[in-house]
Amino acid sequence: MGMEKITGRIATDLEGLKQFTATPGDGCTRLPFTKEARDAVEYLKVVMTEAGLEVHEDAAGNVFGIMKGEDESAPCVMMGSHYDSVRNGGDFDGIAGVVCAIEAARQLRERGIAPKRNFVVVGFCDEEGMRFGTGYFGSGAMLGNRDVEYCKKFKDTDGISIYDAMKGYGLDPEKIMDAKWPDGSIGSFLELHIEQGPVLDAENIELGLVDCIVGIQRYMVTVHGRADHAGTTPMDMRLDAVDAATKVISKIADWAREKADGTVATTGYINTVPGGMNIVAEKVEFTVDIRSSNNDNINDITRRIRAALDHETKEMGGSYEMDNKLTITPVMLSEEMLQIMEDDCREKGYSCKRLASGAGHDSLEIGQVIPTVMLFVPSKDGRSHCPVEFTKYSDFAKASVIMTDLAQKLLER
């Protein structure tokens, strides 16, 4: 199949999916268990069906398309990514991996291969954790790592739990464990994804072979002070939550810089309550997202944040909570599958390099227990999680051929 045709099919699907956003004209906002998610899933179901796949949606809101193999009981080859997005994100993060997995199914069919095992395309419902502050909900549910208690525990900023959001979306959260696949039923997981960083674009390299994905810890920190009049309350009588919280926040980035090994730490969300310019803040909520390929670094920064909060809230006379939203260790990806793709790139004359992923992915949770591999395509200027996120459709086409070659090898074993 010519590259033009493959590029055209990927472009058609990604252009078609762009419409499913809550912020048209200002990036892609497709949060889990929303109208935009529902519309995107229905679109994906049509495209999967047209590609000859047997489609179903599971108890968590993940959507699957299955190409049956000779032995349906053999561990399947699964390929895909997530269909949710961050707020005001780009048009490629996650969803391009789902579209390229459907494209791989088309190419496998056009090659007329007789798969010995099922080839399963998947679109996961909530990789970002943008709405509930968590992460990898869909892939975690597929592995049996998300239960009813988890669904009730985590809430969005409107106080809606995953549990209630699922009910509003038409799912039964009491059945979340039905989403678990039997142990051993998934033989390998392949994920094609944009790099979301600057390396491939800056070095003009066509494809990225991901050998490691960083570990991540995420927290929601709440610092409690006391609301007071901003004009009449003397400085030494205040329990100023902003003063205490910012003394901690201002240190976090430097603690990551000191590691000097790619470790990163981000405070992406800060909220003051009641949030009036003439009121001493009663409460401050802020998030922390810490990532490193060295788990000890993550634990060290977490420890330092907790110690600083102990000190500053004691000084202020207030208190704090540091609620863990996600803890996941770094993962090394499949050397065997990386080698197969590396040899294929060399044979086809595609430039490629091995690199670690600073972004988390469904592969991060899946790769903890199943042989997994990721293939990156360049992100223009390294930008992502913003409306200017861009990758050429022809780059996706090249990557889809390499991943289809890998899938074919695995399916013919």
Tell me which residues touch ligand HGY (CB under 6 A): 127-128, 359-360
Q: Which does 360 bind (CB under 5 to 8 A by kind): Mn ion, ligand HGY, none?
A: ligand HGY
Closest approach of Cβ 97 to Mn ion, in Å? 8
- CB 214, min distance to ligand HGY, A: 8
State the Cα–Cα distance between residues 84 and 93, nearest whole angstrom. Answer: 9
Please identify, using beta-carbon distances, which residue of 186 and 359 lies nearer to ligand HGY: 359
User: Which H/E stretch holds residue 319?
Assistant: strand 319-328
In the complex, least distance from residue 128 CB atom to ligand HGY, rounded to whole angstroms: 5
Q: What letter would DSSP give residue 351?
A: -
- Binding segment for Mn ion (CB under 5 A), chosen from 93-101, 200-208, 317-325, 333-341, is 93-101
Cβ of residue 326: shortest distance to Mn ion, in angstroms?
A: 13
Pick what 80 binds: Mn ion, ligand HGY, none; C-beta below 5 to 8 Å, kind-dependent. none
CA distance 82 to 242: 36
Based on CB atoms, which residue is closest to Mn ion, 93 or 344?
93
Instruction: Spell out a b/e string for 17-46, using b for 16 or more CB atoms within 10 Å of the CB, else e.
Output: beebbbeeeebbbbbbbbebbeebbebbbe
Residue 123 binds Mn ion, judged by CB under 5 A: no
Closest approach of Mn ion to the CB of residue 146, in Å: 18
Shorter beta-carbon distance to Mn ion: residue 334 or 384:
384
Residue 94 engages Mn ion in binding (rule: CB under 5 A): yes
d(CA 184, CA 167): 30
Stretch that binds Mn ion, among 92-100, 105-113, 202-210, 319-327 (CB under 5 A): 92-100
**Residue of closest CB approach to ligand HGY:** 359
Distances (CA, A) of 233 to 224, 255, 278, 312, 313: 17, 34, 11, 19, 18
Q: Are 244 and 318 in contact (CB under 8 A)?
A: yes
- Of 179 and 290, nearer to ligand HGY (C-beta) is 290
d(CA 281, CA 243): 9
238 backbone φψ class: left, alpha, beta (φ>0; ψ -120 to 50) = beta
Q: Convert 122-153 to b/e letters by CB count within 10 Å (16 or more is b).
A: bbbbbbbbbbbbbbbbbbbbbbeebeeebbee
Q: Rounded to the nearest whole angstrom, what is the least distance from the CB of residue 28 to ligand HGY in the complex? A: 12
- 266 vs 294, beta carbon nearer ligand HGY: 266
Q: In 3D, which of 337, 352, 358, 357 has the Cα closest to residue 409?
A: 337
Interface with Mn ion (CB under 5 A), residue total 2
Q: Interface with Mn ion includes 93 (CB under 5 A)?
A: yes
Q: Shortest distance, CB of residue 136 to ligand HGY, whole angstroms? A: 8
Please report, as ranges, the residues that interact with Mn ion according to CB under 5 A: 93-94
